[in-house]
Amino acid sequence: MTLTKCWPGGKTRAFNLTYDDGVVQDIGMVELLNELGLKGTFNLNSQLMAEDFRWQHPCGMWVCRLGPEQAAALYEGHEVACHTLTHPDFSALSREAMLWEMGEDKRRLEALFGREIRGFALPFHHWSNLARSCAIECGFSYARISEESGAYRPPEDYYSWKAGIFHLNEGLDDYVEGFLQCENEMALGQIVGHSYDLDAIGDWETMAGHLRRISEDSDTVSMTNLELADYLRAMEQAVLSDGRLENRSSLPLWFRLNTERICLLPGESRQL
Ligand SMILES: [Zn+2]
């Protein structure tokens, strides 16, 4: 008998796309995701959105934030997460400033979107134990950092969550190919980036092709970063004892028993 843990629906692979900064090109990305039936995680800076902040990309293009009203309508059905108020470099911030940048962004996004915001994504690259403890203190369920894992596995630490691969990484094609063939238990593929990059390089087709292939894979489920965190935590509460498998979590959990897909509802148990 072989028992393996699975993602929702009994799928062996989960995929997450997570894009930062809430820029106008997200309109095109959300349209693409909606067309393909995929869910994304979008990490927003509420103050920069309210201030209509813009900056000039080295290619000459102006990178513009979505306005608050535009954003509230656009991201329906996708996860919205905190990316701080003003996108500061964390190496220069005191503990109080970090708590303000994280906590106040969370509060403003919650007011704008009318839902609880439980995810955090680091602006720039400087993560630390101090920043990690602030993310926990602010009540986030996970903190995604900027480092890539290059791997197909769940994070070792929810509060130092390494992204799978950056979308401009030249290894992206191989990463997606490897993901679609990955047979690891609970394989996880994750692509991070900014939609303005796709305008800057003048290539949406490559990303659209990858997302289309992923959406057509029958053994892959699309999940937001928060859904991943919640499901992984729930799976930690699956207990196998004396041949009896019990779901002690509050979410339905999926497994494969040899080749049979089984789902245990919260509180349910099954003799194997
Ligand atoms: Zn950013």
* 183 CA distance to ligand 1 middle (Å): 32
Residue 211 · residue 36 · CB < 8 Å = yes
pLDDT at 116: 97
* 21 CA distance to ligand 1 middle (Å): 5
Q: Measured between alpha carbons, how far is residue 173 from residues 33, 60, 71, 176, 206 in Å?
A: 19, 27, 30, 5, 9
* 210 CA distance to ligand 1 middle (Å): 23
Residue 87 · residue 125 · CB < 8 Å = no
Q: What one-character DSSP code corresponds to residue 159?
A: G
Show the low-confidence residues of the chain (pLDDT under 50): none
* 253 CA distance to ligand 1 middle (Å): 33
* 83 CA distance to ligand 1 middle (Å): 7
Residue with tokens 């190919």: 177
* 250 CA distance to ligand 1 middle (Å): 33
pLDDT at 1: 83
* 122 CA distance to ligand 1 middle (Å): 7
Helix axes 172-181, 205-216, angle to 10 degrees: 0
* 146 CA distance to ligand 1 middle (Å): 9
* 64 CA distance to ligand 1 middle (Å): 13
* 110 CA distance to ligand 1 middle (Å): 19
Which has the closest alpha carbon to 39: 81, 8, 82, 79?
A: 79
SS3 32: helix
Spatial distance between the Cα atoms of 136 and 70, rounded to a whole number of angstroms? 30
- The sign of the torsion formed by the CA atoms of 157, 158, 160, 164 equals positive
The string over 167-191, giving b where at least 16 C-beta atoms fall within 10 Å of a residue's C-beta and e elsewhere, is: bebeebeebbeebbebeeebbbbbb
* 39 CA distance to ligand 1 middle (Å): 19
What does pTM read for this prediction? 0.97
Q: Mention the CATH class of domain 13-224.
A: alpha beta
Q: What one-character DSSP code corresponds to residue 93?
A: -
Helix axes 95-113, 129-137, angle to 10 degrees: 40
Residue 6 · residue 12 · CB < 8 Å = yes
Which has the closest alpha carbon to 114: 149, 147, 69?
A: 69
* 213 CA distance to ligand 1 middle (Å): 27
* 193 CA distance to ligand 1 middle (Å): 9
Q: Count of H helices and E strands in the chain?
A: 9, 17
Residue 121 · residue 88 · CB < 8 Å = no
Spatial distance between the Cα atoms of 96 and 119, rounded to a whole number of angstroms? 20
For 67-96, write each residue's pLDDT tens digit.
999 999 999 999 999 999 999 999 989 999
Instruction: Sketch the domain layout of the chain as residue ranges.
Output: 13-224, 238-271
User: Which amino acid, one-letter code, is at 51?
Assistant: E
Q: What one-character DSSP code corresponds to residue 268?
A: -
